[in-house]
Structures are given as C-alpha cells and as structure tokens.
C-alpha cells in the first residue's frame, strides 16, 4: 500500500513539475494586448452601389457585413446587374465591409490593406476608445496591397515599428484585429516561413504564419513578442473562407517604404526592365546546359524597353541584378522594383553557357501593360511534327502585332507537345536559344534532336511568353 502511495505521489509530482516547466516556456501575451491594443483600429468601408455596379450576387445580403467581407476578399466577386427575386433590377444600396488597421503616427496616419479601402466612398475609423473619425485616403498600392489613410486627430497611441528581416521561423507572433467585426481580437501563433512568393504577388516576400486570421483581420498588425509591428496581415489560404492555419503578412519594411512614397507623392514609383521571366526547372536547366536551377529565365523582352536597349535577350538567365543575387525568378521583380528609375544597373547573365555582364538603364514601371495578340483560326491540312505540333506561319498582319517578329501559330497540339502544355492558339517563337524562321526550319531542328534530350520551346500565349521543356521520346 505504501509503495502504491509513493508511486502516486511521485507521478503527481513529476506531472506538476513538467506542467509548470511547460507553462513557463509558453509566451505571455497579456502585456502585449494591454499595451498595444489601443494602437489598432477598426475600419468600416461604405460603397454606394448602383444597379449594375458591383451588385451582390445574392439578394438579401446587402446588409450582411460579414458575408460581404467574405465575398469581397475570399469568395465570389459581385455580379453586376443581378436581378432581384421578382426579376426586377436591384435598387441602389450601400455596401459595407470591415477591416483593420494600425496607427503609425500620433497625428492620425494609419496603415491598412489596399483591398480593404478599394472603391470606398466613405472610410470610417473606429478607435479602441469608441471614438469614430471619417478618414481620408492618402493613397493605395494594389501591387503590395498597402494603403495609407489619415484621420484628423492628435496625441494618438502609435505602434513601434520592428525589423521584419530579423524574424526567425518558429518565432512567436500575434495579430490584433476585427475578425467578423469582433473588435480588438488577439490571436497568436508562430512564423511558419519567410520570403514566401505567392501567385501574382511578385513584389512582396510574404511572412507565412499559423496565426488565426479571418475576414475582418485584413490590414491589422502582426506583432512580435517585443510588441513591435513586423507585418500587415493581408491574405489567408482557405477552402472555406475561414482560417486553416495558413496566413500571410506583408513585411513591415515593405509597407513603410510604400507608405512613405504615398505620403510624399500619393503614388508609387518602381523600377522596370520590360521583360517576362519564369522559374528555371530541372528540365529547363538541362536543356540550356546549366548545372543548377539558380536565376531567372528571360522568356520575353519588350521591344524598345529598357532590357531590349540594354542588350538582354530571351533565353538569358539573370543570376545577379545590381549586386543582388537572383536565386529564383521571384527575387528579380523585388530587386528591380526597388531600384530607382534612371539608375544604370549591372546585370549578370548566362547566355548559351557563357557569363556576361550588361549595364542596363532601369526604366519606370508603366501603369498599363502593353497588349500582344494573335489569331486563333484553325488550319487543318498541315502535318504534325515529331513532338506533335501542327504549325503554320503567321500572316504579315499577325507579324505586325508581334513587332515584325517571326512566329509559328499552333493549329493543333498532340503527343509530347500537348503533354507539356502547348495548346492550339499558342505562337512558337523559338527553340532553345534560336528564333523560328519557318515551319520547315523548325521541324528540321526538331528532327535533328537526339532521342532522350530535353529541348526548350519558347511559346507566346496571349501577352505572356514562357519556355516549355519537352523531352524528345527515345
């Protein structure tokens, strides 16, 4: 009996000690919430919706702010002109959505997401002490999803800006915001990854966390344990619209740079080369005779753009830009975008296996991209080549749209080409580092490729160019 009691007491003591040690290892967020909650604001956006302008896709949701925020950011876009239940057009109404933000200066400058205040007719900022102010939009940058607004107030509590470059994977972080309109809600987690590149988000090296972020958190701050803001909560990965443990924040250094430009001029100036790039896969590296997949592959060069004038060509691999190593294609837009237009930048490249350095004058990124087009008319009498492509040469009118370049229109794709993703309507611009001249020449080049070797076919699709690797069958 005594032995059993000793065993029970010993087990309980070990459990209590281990629990106490574990509790001591966990961070305490209470001080952070008490000291910094007042620096976070609730943002309410009103949009005057007219019939045919961004109408909600389902009647009866006009007053449901949570569902509107869900559809606006994470769900289905509005369907203009959607009829009501009786078949008549919907009447005009006010659409409202919610977001978060944080005060960066005591005189009323507030950072949030660009998507939070997009197309807003009125922005209302609500402080933690329940005071409300009508805010003025200073500017917004959709490429980074950063916006700056201003309220007429003074003596406001402001955040302390941290250094996002010092964040480490596994470090504890916390978010404060208004998920589903529930003001000053805190959630916590760890940094899951850094420098995360997302589709269509080339200018932001996102901080990935497992902090619970939901609709309404957008634009709110991400704090480290020192109470410093290290990011702006911007996006989530979700199949349901709610948190699934994958959230993404804009690093605060990126956001502050954008806010400074917006405050100074109301617009953002970025460097620009005028090229299309793509990631280098193992197959593409093999086709270009490269030893690794480092760098950004130039898939297209805009005629008379900065890169064209500086001597950059399709097929070049950029390994360093203005002294900054380019390890992947995601590194290049950030390096170029942060470069002041007009600067002469040294660009190190690999061209047909040889290293070269080009000095290129960086241009200013235009607001609207140039459009390229091609015809998609079917032609059926040509024969398929070795990799399954049936091609025809472009007409003079089609060549004119390509600035006089030669190209071959894909009128059918089968076999190896179809498996690699080339489809009808694409335009073939080149093979490896050689431009196409004619269907006959291209097919001869294909026939000369040894079995088992990988080739890189340069394809134009819409206004985008990309290399497609194809391994020729044995």
| Catalytic center residues | 115, 145, 218
Three-state secondary-structure class, residue 118: coil
Could you report how far apart the first and last alpha carbons of the chain are, in Å?
A: 79
Greatest CA separation found in the chain?
101
Do 48 and 94 contact (CB within 8 A), yes or no?
yes
DSSP assignment of 316-333 equals -EEEEETTEE--STTHHH
CA distance 172 to 3: 43
Residue 25 burial (C-beta neighbours within 10 Å; 0-12, 13-18, 19+) = exposed
DSSP assignment of 323-381 equals TEE--STTHHHHHHHTSPTT-EEEEEEEETTEEEEEEEE-EEPPSSPPP---------S
- Residue 473: both structure tokens together: 């069958």
Rg (CA), the chain: 28
Residue with tokens 């990965």: 237
Do 207 and 196 contact (CB within 8 A), yes or no?
yes
Question: CA 234: distance to chain centroid?
Answer: 11
CA distance 185 to 178: 6
- Residue 220: both structure tokens together: 């709110």
- Residue 374: both structure tokens together: 């091609």
Residue 310 exposure: Cα atoms within 13 Å on the Cβ side: 28
């Amino acid at each position: 009996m005594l032995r059993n009691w000793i065993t029970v007491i010993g087990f309980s003591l070990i459990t209590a000690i281990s629990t106490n040690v574990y509790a001591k290892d966990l961070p305490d967020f209470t001080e952070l919430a008490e000291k910094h909650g007042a620096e976070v604001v609730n943002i309410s956006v009103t949009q005057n919706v007219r019939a045919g302008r961004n109408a909600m896709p389902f009647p009866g949701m006009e007053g449901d702010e949570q569902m509107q925020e869900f559809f606006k950011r994470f769900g289905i876009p509005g369907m203009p002109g959607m009829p009501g239940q009786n078949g008549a057009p919907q009447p005009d109404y006010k659409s409202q959505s919610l977001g978060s933000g944080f005060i960066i200066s005591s005189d009323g400058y507030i950072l949030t997401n660009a998507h939070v205040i997009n197309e807003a007719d009125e922005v209302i900022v609500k402080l933690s002490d329940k005071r409300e102010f009508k805010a003025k939009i200073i500017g917004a940058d959709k490429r980074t999803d950063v916006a700056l607004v201003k309220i007429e107030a003074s003596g406001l509590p402001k955040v302390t800006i941290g250094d996002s470059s010092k964040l480490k994977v596994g470090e504890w972080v916390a978010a404060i915001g208004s998920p589903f309109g529930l003001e000053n809600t805190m959630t916590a987690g760890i940094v899951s990854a850094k420098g995360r590149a997302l589709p269509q988000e080339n200018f932001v090296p996102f901080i990935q966390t497992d902090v619970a972020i939901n609709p309404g958190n957008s634009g709110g701050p991400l704090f480290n344990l020192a109470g410093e803001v290290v990011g702006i909560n911007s996006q989530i990965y979700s199949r349901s619209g709610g948190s699934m443990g994958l959230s993404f924040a804009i690093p605060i250094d990126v956001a502050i740079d954008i806010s400074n430009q917006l405050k100074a001029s109301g617009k953002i100036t970025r460097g620009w080369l005028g090229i299309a790039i793509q990631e280098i896969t193992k197959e593409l590296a093999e086709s270009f005779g490269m030893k690794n997949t480092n760098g950004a592959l130039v898939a297209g060069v805009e005629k008379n753009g900065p890169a064209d004038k500086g001597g950059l060509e399709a097929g070049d691999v950029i390994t360093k830009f203005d002294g900054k190593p380019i390890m992947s294609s995601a590194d290049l837009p950030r390096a170029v975008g942060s470069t002041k237009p007009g600067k002469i930048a040294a660009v190190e490249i690999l061209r047909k296996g040889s290293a070269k350095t080009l000095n290129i004058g960086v241009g200013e990124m235009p607001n609207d991209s140039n459009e390229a087009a091609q015809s998609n008319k079917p032609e059926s009498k040509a024969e398929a080549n070795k990799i399954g492509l049936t091609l025809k040469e472009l007409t003079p009118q089609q060549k004119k749209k390509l600035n006089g370049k030669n190209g071959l229109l894909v009128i059918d794709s089968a076999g190896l080409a179809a498996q690699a993703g080339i489809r009808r309507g694409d335009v073939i611009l080149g093979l490896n580092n050689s431009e196409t001249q004619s269907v006959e020449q291209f097919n001869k080049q294909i026939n000369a490729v040894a079995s088992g070797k990988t080739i890189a076919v340069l394809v134009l699709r819409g206004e985008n160019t990309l290399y497609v690797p194809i391994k020729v069958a044995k």
